[in-house]
Amino acid sequence: MKIGVLALQGDFAEHIQVLKRLGVATAEVRLPRHLDGLDGLILPGGESTTMGKLCVDFNLLAPLQQFGQNQPIWGTCAGAILLSRDVRRSQPLLGLMDIRIARNAFGRQVDSFEADLDIEPLKRATHTDAPYHAFFIRAPIIEMVAGNARVLGSLPDGRIVAAQQGKLLATSFHPELTSDTRFHEYFLSFVHPS
Ligand code: GLN
């Protein structure tokens, strides 16, 4: 199994570290040909406008959309924004997930926070019971989930922070910044090595 991490901008190195810790082969993706032979892809956190523009500059938008037609992709924070169809403003998006996002929905960088989430599919897949402690850094919320997309996790007040659509996963928080590897394990459970 080999998992790529989009490495144009943002905290791709942290994702690669977690994957390595789980014994998974990794590749940094900067060009369309770097997608060859990958079994899944992670879009990291960072700044979604910049990441989207770099995808355009590096001719990655269409190859990533193509990849996501049948391979698993997981976007964390800015990566989740990139996966979405709608952010109510104009910026390059992959548009693969039927979700509408509100960027920076919790305020500014200083309003970053942590919260415990109860995500049943995650607990089931990893045979664990503890809530998932999530880090939100200038995070988006998922305002609307439509079509085949499903809510995966919400804050206690009901705001959606994780969604899934088949093998596509969007989280508005940052599992790559914690020592809890369960979200990476959950994503890897969608991956069927070629
Ligand atoms: N605020 C960023 C954006 O809207 C996302 C922040 C993050 O990835 N931590 O692109």
Contacts of 9 (CB under 8 A, 6+ apart): 46, 47, 50, 51, 54
Contacts of 179 (CB under 8 A, 6+ apart): none
- Render each residue's pLDDT in the chain as its tens digit; 194 residues: 999 999 999 999 999 999 999 999 999 999 999 999 999 999 999 999 999 999 999 999 999 999 999 999 999 999 999 999 999 999 999 999 999 999 999 988 888 899 999 999 999 999 999 999 999 999 999 999 999 999 999 999 999 999 999 999 999 999 999 999 999 999 999 998 76
Angle separating helix axes 61-70 and 48-57, nearest 10 degrees:
100
Mutate to test the pocket of ligand 1, among 6, 48, 76 (most ligand atoms within 8 A of CB): 48
Residue 78 and residue 46 in contact, taking contact as beta carbons nearer than 8 Å: yes
- Supply the pTM of this predicted model: 0.96
Give the whole-angstrom CA distance, residue 133 versus residue 163: 17
Q: Whose CA is nearest to atom 4 of ligand 1?
A: 103
- Tell me the per-residue pLDDT of 15-28, one tens digit each, with 9 for 90 and over: 999 999 999 999 99
